Amino acid sequence: MSRPPFGSPEWLANFEEVVRTSKTTKEAVDRLGYATPSVVYYHLKKFGIERPRLWNERPSLREFMQRNIPEVMIPTIIARRWVAGLVQGETCIQSIYREFMDTVYLQLDTAMVDPAPICKLSEYFQLPAPKSPIRNHDWRPQRRKNIAGLRALRVLKEITPFLLGDKRKEAERALSFFSPFGNHRGCYRNGDIWPQSEFPLRTKGRGSELGPNRIDRAVRMIGHVSGWSSQPKAEFSERQGIPAVVIRALEDRSWVGGLSQGEGCTESHYAKLVDSTTIELSISMTDSAPVFQFSDIVGLPRPSKPKPPQTAEPNHKPKWLKAVTGLRALRVLGEIQPFLFGEKAREVERALAFFSPTGYRQGHFRPIDIWPREEFPLRRRLEA
């Protein structure tokens, strides 16, 4: 190929133009008529010309690295609903920057103290389960599973239709920003992709010294917690209106199971006036949308207002609470039991045996009497 003589003004202008318009190093070498790429690199360094960022991309290597990522990650709707329920409360949709590639990647990060749901999630991700726990401040060690890049993008695309509220908005932003390969050229922080002004629920307090939330009786009454009453006659009449099957669709049971695995609390409540202890399943989250969906699925009214934060810490936000008690809770737990794993499944199994067949047990029983610490160690945080 003919080119201007080296050292002439035309040569440098031609060299810069070829470098700027070539998609790869090989293309630039062929157009300039050189024998090896080293000549091009030599001139780039000598004349202070920046190497095009496009030359660093290696499509063949990317295809080789992504060859084992299935086109369809989670094949069934029931499985996608379960993963979406767990992701709704326990997974962080975030980015991770790799400086040597000058590229930011999509990442789904999930961490829980119970290894069983993490193992199940790994199975749906078609990856091995984590072998060892990670430290978690002064709390119990956690099992963590994170996926990044194209695998994360495909999983998120499959479960986004079943996400709700702010989590769905986060997922939709991620899909538009990281498509089609799960990455984006350049350095971007999480705050650049998901600004706090648009996604206020992404920030939360870490390392809180507060124990698990307990709701006072007055708050329960205001929050329309149904399924039990202090009056035996009213209690009996309420039981008559509870359907034999509360959650009819298997997909809905799967979603409630996934949500309850991370955000559900199985507790007991004592009604002194009737000397009776009842089972309770509650969901408490800062985002109202999944709590509303849970209320609709279990056939109860939606909560009318959130519960104020227990401290003045600015990162502690109001929470929306919905609790199901008595016979309705017993039937819901029986229906979602196949979609619970690990200690949560054992808690529900114990509750079903203890409170059957009515959802109530005569007498005063504390939660620790039903779920002893030595049998259910994950129900209690490690003390600092």
pLDDT in tens, 139-158: 788 999 999 999 999 999 99
Q: Which pLDDT band holds residue 225 (cuts at 50, 70, 90)? A: very low
Q: For domain 65-199, which architecture applies?
A: Roll (3.10)
What's the pLDDT tens digit per position in 59-86? 555 555 566 789 999 999 999 999 999 9
Q: Could you give the CA distance from residue 4 to residue 34 in angstroms, rounded to a whole number?
A: 13
Other CB atoms closer than 10 Å to residue 240's CB: what's the count? Answer: 7
Contact 267, 253 (CB under 8 A): no
What's the pLDDT tens digit per position in 182-204? 999 899 999 999 999 999 988 64
Residue 54's pLDDT is 73
Q: What is the 3-state secondary structure (H, E, C) of 165-181?
A: HHHHHHHHHHHHHHCCC
Cα separations (Å) of 105 from 144, 190, 327?
18, 11, 47
List the chain domain ranges: 9-55, 65-199, 217-379
Q: Residue 75 corresponds to which amino acid?
A: P
Residue 123's pLDDT is 97
Identical fold for domains 65-199 and 217-379, yes or no, is: yes
What's the pLDDT tens digit per position in 248-305? 999 999 999 999 999 999 999 999 999 999 999 999 999 999 999 999 999 999 999 9
Residue 130's pLDDT is 94
Residue range 217-379 forms a domain whose CATH class is alpha beta
Residue 5's pLDDT is 83
| CA–CA–CA angle 234, 235, 238 (5° rounding) | 85
Residue 65's pLDDT is 56
Which pTM was predicted? 0.77
Residue 381's pLDDT is 45
What's the pLDDT tens digit per position in 5-44? 887 888 888 888 899 888 888 888 888 888 888 888 888 8
Output the average pLDDT for the chain: 85
Residue 335 has pLDDT above 50, yes or no: yes
Please report, rounded to a whole number, the percentage of residues in the chain having pLDDT higher than 90: 60
Own/partner contacts of 237-246, CB < 8 Å, gap of 24 or more, are: 238/326, 239/326, 239/327, 239/358, 242/326, 242/327, 242/328, 242/331, 243/299, 244/331, 245/331, 245/335, 246/298, 246/299, 246/328, 246/331, 246/332, 246/335
Residue 231's pLDDT is 37
Q: Which of 255, 244, 260 is nearest to 327 (CA)?
A: 244
Mean pLDDT of 209-221: 38
Residue 313's pLDDT is 73
Contact 72, 158 (CB under 8 A): yes
